[in-house]
Amino acid sequence: MKKLLVLFAILCLFVSTGSAQDRVTLTNGDAIVGDVKSMKHAVLVIETDYSDSDFTIDWKDVQDLTTSGTYIIGLAGGKKVDGTITIVNQTVTITDADGGQIENMSHLKVIYLNAIDKGFWDKVNASIDGGFTHSKASNNNQFTLRGTAAYMSTKINPDLYANFVQSAIDANDSVRVNSKRRNYGGNFRMFFSKSWFAITGADFLTSDEQGLDLRSTYSLGVGYFPISTYRMLLNVSTGIALNNEILSDDVMGEDNTSTEGFVSMEYNAFGLDDISIVSSVKYYPSLSDGGRNRLNASIDLKLDLPKDFYIGLGYTVNYDSEPTGEDIPGTDYVVQTTVGWSL
C-alpha cells in the first residue's frame, strides 16, 4: 500500500510539473494558456495543446503575461538580456540571469522575445520567395528568386541575403537575349554597448546591365540604433570598404580595385495591419578614385497571408557615377512581385 501511495505521489508530481504552462491575458479579458515561443515584429506567438496552429497576438493587446521559461529579451534603446519576464497590467518585471531586476517598464518597451531553451531554428528569421512573369510580346520571360536569413542573440546578429533575376527576350526571329542579375552576401553584427555594434559585411553583384562579371565589396565599420521600438527599427552605420570589380568579357575597360568609405541606413517597420516594410540605403564615396560615388538602395513590402505565406513587392537600384566599363549605364534597377514563405 505504501508503495502505491509513493508511486501515486510521484505521478502527481510529474503531471503537475509537466503541466506548468505560460498564461497570456488580453486587454479584452480573454486568456490563453500554452507555451510562449517568441515575440517579434510586434506579434506574440504562443503554442497550445488545443490548436494545431500557433496563436498570434498583437503585442499591444497583451495585458498580463506569466511565463516559466528564460528568454532573450530585447528592449527599446538596444539593451538585450537573458532572463525571465512577467507582465502585470501592461507593466513589465524582468529578472536577468544574474538575479538583477528591471521593473516598472511599459511592456511596449520590450521589442523582442525568444525562448533560450528552444532550438537553433527558433532564433532564426528566414524567408524565401519567387515569381515568374511571361508576356507574349517578344516572348519575354523573367524569373525571380529571393531569400533572407538572420540569427539573433544578445551578442551577435549575422544575416545572409540573396536576390537573383534571370530574364530572356526575343531580339528578333533568330536571336534570343538572356540577361542576369545576381546579388548576394551577408553581414555580421556584434553588439558591445546597448545600441552600438560593430559590423562587417560582404556583398557580391553580377549584372549584365552594368557589365559586371563580379563586383565584390568588403566592409568594416561601426553602427548605432537611434530608433528601436516594438513597431520599428532604424540603424545607421559608417566605415571603410574595399571594392573589387571584374568586368564581363564583352565590356571594354579594365578591372578595378578601389578603397571606399560607406554610410548606411536600414529601416524596418512591422505590425502595420499585416504589412511590413524593410528598406536600406548604402552610399559609397570613393577614397582612391576621386569623384566616384556609388549608391545601393532597396525597399521591400510584405503583405502577410495565412500559414506564414506572404505577397512581396520589391524595388532595388544600383547607381554608379563613373562605371568602370565603357558605354555602360550608371543605373541598374529591378522591380519584383513575389509570393513567399517565412520562418
In terms of domains, do 46 and 170 share one? no
Which domain does 90 fall in, by range?
22-118
Last residue of a domain, one of 101, 118, 135: 118
Ranges assigned E (strand) in 76-175: 80-88, 91-96, 101-106, 110-115, 124-135, 140-151, 156-170
Q: In CATH, what number is assigned to the domain containing residue 147?
A: 2.40.160.40
The overall pTM is greater than 0.75: yes
Identity of the amino acid at 284: Y
Q: Specify the higher pLDDT residue, 202 or 125.
A: 202
Which grid coordinates belong to 332? 541598374
In terms of phi and psi (left: phi > 0; alpha: psi -120 to 50; beta: otherwise), the region of 273 is left
Say if residue 104's pLDDT is above 90.
no
- Which pLDDT value is given to residue 137? 66
**Residue 16 domain flag:** no
Contact 261, 217 (CB under 8 A): no
In terms of domains, do 78 and 171 share one? no
The residue with cell 545600441 is 195
Which grid coordinates belong to 184? 548576394
Q: What is the pLDDT of residues 184-202, one digit of tens each?
A: 999 999 998 778 999 999 9
Q: How many domains does the chain have?
A: 2
Beta strand 331-342 with 124-135 is: antiparallel
Between vectors from CA 93 to CA 59 and to CA 73, what angle results, nearest 5°?
Answer: 60
